[in-house]
Amino acid sequence: MNSPLKPGKVWLVGVGPGSPDLVTVRAVRALAAADVWLVDDLVAPEMSCYARPGTHVEWVGKRGGRCSVTQARIQQLTLQHALAGRTVARVKGGDPLLFGRGGEEAAFLRAHGVPVEVVNGISSGMAAAQALGVALTHRAHCHGVTFVTGHTSEHGSPDWEALVRGGTTLVIYMGMSRLAAIRDGLLAAGMRPDMPAAVVMHAGGAEQRSWTGTVQALAEALAAGMASPAVVLVGGVVAEAMALPSELPSAVPAVP
Amino acid sequence: MNSPLKPGKVWLVGVGPGSPDLVTVRAVRALAAADVWLVDDLVAPEMSCYARPGTHVEWVGKRGGRCSVTQARIQQLTLQHALAGRTVARVKGGDPLLFGRGGEEAAFLRAHGVPVEVVNGISSGMAAAQALGVALTHRAHCHGVTFVTGHTSEHGSPDWEALVRGGTTLVIYMGMSRLAAIRDGLLAAGMRPDMPAAVVMHAGGAEQRSWTGTVQALAEALAAGMASPAVVLVGGVVAEAMALPSELPSAVPAVP
């Protein structure tokens, strides 16, 4: 047991894209070991199946959720629980180290003497590739993949010209609110208008839906009902998806 | 039960970077449901804890392993087992859709009428960031991350100039055999010599080791004993790791 003099450990736990069975064994154990969960809004409610009875669960999402808590406030909350000697699970969708603010939260807690450990998770971009039935890298199409955010106020606008010239598959997070601007940026950077593109909404989750087309037609995904949270994929690899029926994650057989 | 007339399902299962507890619940279930495992060399032997008693396990790695089987032969083997009505787990390290040849193997099997499902895994680049205690993206340093392979014969040499100009964090797979060439490529592309860089060997596995320094000093990682399998990280985010003691994954508390 922790005494109030000894800060509790904080687990920055990535619980993946939404489906409870896409959580790692390490994450399941960390979630079950926690006294307190501080949960981001986009985390699927189903994840609560991993909470120990009596766990104090608080939703602290910033993005149009039940409540709207600032990043600073979330960090303060986490620190307060840890300094009170509680084991805290800071529960995040995807992977805390990829657009998850995990680095900032870990640095803040360490600066206050709180032990922190990150548990990786499956990022929605990987789940989007799985949903489309394509790989993000393919020797025939590219030599790599770039994950960027289209959400300017958070990370600044990507250098589309450099990214297009780099020739990697592009996976764009938080881009649905500026899909037309992303299309224009890519075309102005010299990307061929018929470059295959896809949008996967709720990737890896129960309500998963996908749209496939081209960069030129990207904004049509909105008319097709695609909305946040969604991931945009752009690149030759996406063409492989066109040949397939769109695949929803099927039931996994239970252990015999 | 499958009859020989009905092909068995093939699960392309990513088992992550090496530690059995970094496997997803879905992967554990797929592994336990399989009659046959076809396992890549770099997969940790500990993963066999997830095999059902009586499972036929074959190691089919291509990279300097026990045996050396060509990609074509691996695909034929997988197909033969599936056409015989067996449920097959094609077991791969990391995520099958990121430098895992998962797209090629899935396309080949689908072309032969075999049902295929991919199970995402934690890629070694993400585990490397966890090992260093840094995020791959940080609003203060970059707006994204690029995963490339340094293994020219596989994917062609990356356009270092475009990648450096793109300003994303770089995560380089399969680069240890050409570390000096990668350093030269990055410097020739105009990257500052003192850009923070790190090498993480056996990321996420029991024998994990890391080196941190700068792009200029990258080749010194070899003298420090870093060797394949390893991931190279380059970018401002790596500086966050310098401030920290290098972190090995600690034991996770058991479920109470």
The string of pLDDT tens digits covering residues B47-79 is: 999 999 999 999 997 654 445 688 899 999 999
Of A156, A168, A250, nearest to B117 by CB-CB distance is A250
Q: Lowest mean pLDDT of A72-76, B51-55, B63-67, B95-99, name the range.
A: B63-67
pLDDT for res B249: 40
Chain A, 101 to 120: residues with Cβ < 8 Å from chain B are 101-104, 106-107, 110, 117-120
Of A28, A137, A158, nearest to B98 by CB-CB distance is A137
Residue B173, SS3?
A: strand
B238 contacts chain A (CB < 8 A): no
The angle formed by the CA atoms of residues B212, B214 and B216, to the nearest 5 degrees, is 140
B51 contacts chain A (CB < 8 A): no
pLDDT for res A41: 86
Of B23, B117, B162, nearest to A166 by CB-CB distance is B162
Q: Which residues of A touch B143 (CB under 8 A)?
A: 148-149, 155-158
Percent of chain A with pLDDT over 90: 79
A6 has catalytic annotation:
no
Q: Would you say residue A220 has pLDDT above 80?
A: yes
pLDDT for res B41: 86
Q: If you ran DSSP here, which 8-state letter would residue A252 be given?
A: P
**pLDDT tens digits along A107-153:** 999 999 999 999 999 999 999 999 999 999 987 777 899 999 987 55
pLDDT for res B4: 53
Helices and strands (H, E) in chain A, number of each type:
9, 10
Is the Cβ pair A158, B143 closer than 8 Å? yes
CA-closest candidate to residue A97, choices A117, A81, A75: A117
Q: What is the C-alpha separation between B236 and A183, in angstroms, rounded? A: 28
Q: What is the C-alpha separation between A39 and A65, in angstroms, rounded? A: 11
pLDDT for res B216: 98
CB pairs under 8 A between A and B: 230
Q: Under a CB-based contact definition with an 8 Å cutoff, are residues A146 and B166 in contact?
A: yes
Is the Cβ pair A29, B21 closer than 8 Å? yes
**pLDDT tens digits along A236-252:** 999 987 665 444 344 44
End-to-end CA distance of chain A: 37
CA-closest candidate to residue B158, choices B166, B167, B148: B148
| Nearest residue in B to A237, CA atom | B103
pLDDT for res B101: 87
pLDDT for res A101: 87
Pick the catalytic residue from A35, A41, A62, A184.
Answer: A62
Q: What is the C-alpha separation between B166 and B143, in angstroms, rounded? A: 9
Calculate how close chain B gets to A129, using CA atoms only, in Å.
7
Is the Cβ pair B139, A147 closer than 8 Å? no
Q: What is the C-alpha separation between B233 and A7, in angstroms, rounded? A: 31
**Average pLDDT for B191-202:** 97
Q: Would you say residue B143 has pLDDT above 90?
A: no
A51: buried, middle or exposed (CB in 10 Å: 19+, 13-18, 0-12)? middle
A227: buried, middle or exposed (CB in 10 Å: 19+, 13-18, 0-12)? middle
Residue A249, SS3?
A: coil
Q: Is the dihedral of CA B125, B127, B133, B136 positive or negative?
A: positive
Q: Under a CB-based contact definition with an 8 Å cutoff, are residues A171 and A137 in contact?
A: no
Calculate how close chain A gets to B153, using CA atoms only, in Å.
10
Peptide bond connecting B158 to the previous residue in cis, omega within 30 degrees of 0: no
pLDDT for res A62: 62
What tokens were used for B100? 């895992």
**pLDDT tens digits along B25-35:** 999 999 999 99
Q: Which residues of A touch B94 (CB under 8 A)?
A: none
Q: Under a CB-based contact definition with an 8 Å cutoff, are residues A124 and A14 in contact?
A: no
Q: Would you say residue B155 has pLDDT above 60?
A: no
pLDDT for res B156: 59
Is the Cβ pair B32, A130 closer than 8 Å? no
A19 contacts chain B (CB < 8 A): yes
Q: What is the C-alpha separation between B237 and B135, in angstroms, rounded? A: 7
pLDDT for res B42: 85
The maximal CA–CA distance of chain A, rounded, in angstroms, is 61
Q: Under a CB-based contact definition with an 8 Å cutoff, are residues B62 and B68 in contact?
A: yes
Q: What is the C-alpha separation between A91 and A14, in angstroms, rounded? A: 6
Q: If you ran DSSP here, which 8-state letter would residue B6 be given?
A: S
Calculate how close chain A gets to B99, using CA atoms only, in Å.
6
Chain B, 115 to 174: residues with Cβ < 8 Å from chain A are 117-123, 126-127, 129-130, 133-139, 142-149, 154-159, 162-163, 165-168
Is the Cβ pair B21, A25 closer than 8 Å? yes
How many residues appear in chain B? 256
**pLDDT tens digits along A35-56:** 999 999 889 999 999 999 999 9
Q: Would you say residue B98 has pLDDT above 80?
A: yes
pLDDT for res A228: 94
pLDDT for res A92: 96
pLDDT for res B58: 94
Average pLDDT, chain A: 89
Burial letters A102-136, b for 16+ CB under 10 A, else e: bbbbbbbbbeeebebbbbbbbbbbbbbbbbbbbbb
Name the band, by pLDDT with cuts 50, 70 and 90, for residue B19: very high
Name the band, by pLDDT with cuts 50, 70 and 90, for residue B201: very high
Of A119, A144, A163, nearest to B148 by CB-CB distance is A144
Interface test with B, best of A10, A22, A47, A98 (most B CBs within 10 A): A98
Is the Cβ pair A147, B142 closer than 8 Å? no
Q: Assess: ipTM above 0.95.
A: no
A62 has catalytic annotation:
yes
Q: If you ran DSSP here, which 8-state letter would residue B230 be given?
A: E
Q: Under a CB-based contact definition with an 8 Å cutoff, are residues A234 and A172 in contact?
A: yes
| Nearest residue in B to A104, CA atom | B138
Q: Which residues of B touch A113 (CB under 8 A)?
A: none
pLDDT for res A125: 98
Q: Lowest mean pLDDT of B21-25, B40-44, B240-244, name the range.
A: B240-244
| Nearest residue in A to B153, CA atom | A139
Is the Cβ pair A16, B24 closer than 8 Å? yes
Chain A, 61 to 100: residues with Cβ < 8 Å from chain B are 95-100
Q: Would you say residue B144 has pLDDT above 70?
A: yes
Element (DSSP H or E) covering residue B130: helix B124-132
Q: Would you say residue A191 has pLDDT above 70?
A: yes
pLDDT for res A256: 37
| Nearest residue in A to B23, CA atom | A24
Pick the catalytic residue from A9, A40, A191, A195.
Answer: A40
pLDDT for res B92: 96
Cα dist from A52 to A43, A81, B12, whole Å: 17, 17, 32
Q: Under a CB-based contact definition with an 8 Å cutoff, are residues A214 and A197 in contact?
A: yes
